């Protein structure tokens, strides 16, 4: 199972990592008797992770990039799509 990481690490986590950690915590709490103190810590961490996951989904935005002359650039579909429905490369 995933070991608990430091808080600074977790702040950088993406949705996947958070959900994975939440799932690992649930499995641990479901499968074995955890010492009380550790259990409290795990439950607290799990609740926070669920909260963060939901917030991440609310704020979720795909990052869109495009290759332009072999270089990756941010892509704005409204700009890119200005040419109507032409099926041509820029």
Partner 1 sequence: MQHVFSVQELTQAVKGVVEGQFPLVWVRGQVSNLSRPGSGHIYFTLKDELAQLKVVWFKGNQWQTPALESLHNGQEIVCAGRLSVYPPQGTYQLIAEWVQDQGIGRLQAAFEALKQKMEAKGYFAQDRKRPLPPHPQRVAVVTAPQGAAVRDFLRLAGERGRPAAIRIYPSLMQGEGAEDNVIGALEQVQLDEWAEVVVITRGGGSLEDLWTFNTEAVAEAVAHFPLPTVAAIGHERDVTIVDLIADSRAATPSHAAQLVWPLRQELVQEVDEWEMRLDKAWMVQWRHAQRRFAELEKGLGWISPRRRLQRMDKECHRLGHALVRTGRRFVTQQESRAHDSSEALLHRVRRHFGRTATERLEHAGRRLLHCRSNHFNAVAHRLEIQTSALAHLNPKAPLRHGFSLVSRVDTGELVTSAAQVAPEDFLQVQTGDGAYRVRATAGDTAASSGQETET
List of residues contacting partner 1 (CB under 8 A): 14-16, 19, 22-23, 25-26, 29-30, 33-34, 36, 39, 42-43, 46-47, 50, 53-54, 56-57, 60-68, 72, 75, 77-78, 80-90
Q: How many CB atoms lie within 10 A of CB 79?
A: 9
Q: Spell out the residues 6+ positions from residue 14 whose beta carbon is closer than 8 angstroms to its own.
A: 56
Separation CA 88–CA 40 (nearest Å): 58
CB of residue 55 to partner 1, shortest distance in Å: 10
CB of residue 4 to partner 1, shortest distance in Å: 15
CB of residue 70 to partner 1, shortest distance in Å: 9
CB of residue 52 to partner 1, shortest distance in Å: 9
Least Cα distance to 90 among 69, 60, 72, 73 occurs for: 69
Q: Nearer to partner 1 by C-beta: 8 or 84?
A: 84
Cα-Cα end-to-end distance for the chain: 47
């Amino acid at each position: 199972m995933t070991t608990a990481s430091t808080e600074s690490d977790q702040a950088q986590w993406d949705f996947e990592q958070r959900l994975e950690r939440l799932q690992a915590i649930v499995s641990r709490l479901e499968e074995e008797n955890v010492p009380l103190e550790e259990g409290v810590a795990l439950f607290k961490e799990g609740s926070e992770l669920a909260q963060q996951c939901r917030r991440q989904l609310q704020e979720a935005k795909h990052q869109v990039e495009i290759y332009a002359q072999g270089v990756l650039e941010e892509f704005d579909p409204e700009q890119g799509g200005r040419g109507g429905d032409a099926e041509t490369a820029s």
